[in-house]
Amino acid sequence: MGERIVNALTIDVEDYFQVSALAPHFPRAEWEQVPCRVERNVNLILQLLDDHDARATFFVLGWVAERYPQLVRLIVAQGHEIASHGYEHERASAQPRDRFLADIVLAKAVLEDIGGESVAGYRAPSFSIGKANLWAHDCIAEAGYAYSSSVYPVQHDHYGMPDAPRFPYRLESGLLEVPVTTMRWMGRNWPAGGGGFFRLLPYAVSRWQIAKVNRDDARAAIFYFHPWEIDPEQPRVSRASMKTRFRHYVNLERTEGRLRCLLRDFAWGRADRVFADL
């Protein structure tokens, strides 16, 4: 039997009130007045990873890093990778080129100053790089990042580029794009990389999908989740639409247990090391 494939585990470090779907209810100017829960949740994730001797990549929001610098340093001290999730958590597709570039340059500088290590990776909020703003990849390269994980090759109402390559590919700028994992089945790409689908569907589905990618494609998967997804006690936004509330709150109470199963069933490492040969 061959050696088990090491997959890339990634965490998008943002708080519950910074989620794009809840943006209408938490104006950016009011973030300072909203109770934060990100520190508590990231500490729990770090303990989960330590329990299973796993390493991960944390795509940290610059806004969070400035307010919780000790959290960034703790992530680094425990052997995980610090990467960038931008500074303001504004979709790449909602910004003009110059503002997007300024945001990701600032985030990289903040994270490197606090963490004391070079930041190689970037992930756009809500996987917001698609056919209409492919210029964003050039900005990411210009800002000094070595890789991006900002494309999800699926059809979705908020994001997605279903015709994009399913596995890491090099752009003309030299930037490596590492798409979130999909499974090819019945002629289309199916989400297999975590997020809301991991909470919505039974854990056995995610286990089957990742195992299939490892076995049939002989490729490492890249999986993601958010700290707020393991926090069923977070404040509820009752005025959000029914669709938004369902997507955000479904099965929060089950996510931690499912993550324990995921960490047990597969080998996990940092994105920069899993894809280092590329």
Q: What is the pTM of this model?
A: 0.96
Structural domain boundaries in the chain = 6-274
Any idea of the CA torsion for 231, 233, 238, 240, to the nearest 10 degrees?
-10
Say how far apart CA 126 and CA 191 lie, in whole Å.
Answer: 14
Number of continuous H segments (helices) and E segments (strands) in the chain: 10, 11
Say how far apart CA 59 and CA 226 lie, in whole Å.
Answer: 10
Say how far apart CA 165 and CA 143 lie, in whole Å.
Answer: 23
Task: Name residue 148's beta-bridge partners.
Answer: 122, 177
Q: What would the two tokens of residue 55 be?
A: 């390493």
pLDDT, tens digit, 9 for 90 and up, residues 224-236: 999 999 999 999 9
Is domain 6-274 classified as CATH 3.30.390.30?
Answer: no
Q: What would the two tokens of residue 62 be?
A: 């610059």
pLDDT for 158? 66
Q: Across the chain, what does the average pLDDT equal? A: 95
Say how far apart CA 276 and CA 1 lie, in whole Å.
Answer: 24
pLDDT for 278? 77
For residues 46-53, average pLDDT: 98
> What percent of the chain lies above the pLDDT cut of 70?
97
Per-residue pLDDT at 65 exceeds 70: yes
pLDDT for 88? 94
For residues 94-116, average pLDDT: 98
pLDDT, tens digit, 9 for 90 and up, residues 23-34: 999 999 999 999
pLDDT for 1? 44
For residues 155-178, average pLDDT: 88
pLDDT, tens digit, 9 for 90 and up, residues 180-190: 999 998 889 99
> What percent of the chain lies above the pLDDT cut of 90?
92
pLDDT for 81? 98
CA 119 → CA 60, 77, 85, 88, 272, distances in Å? 11, 15, 11, 17, 10
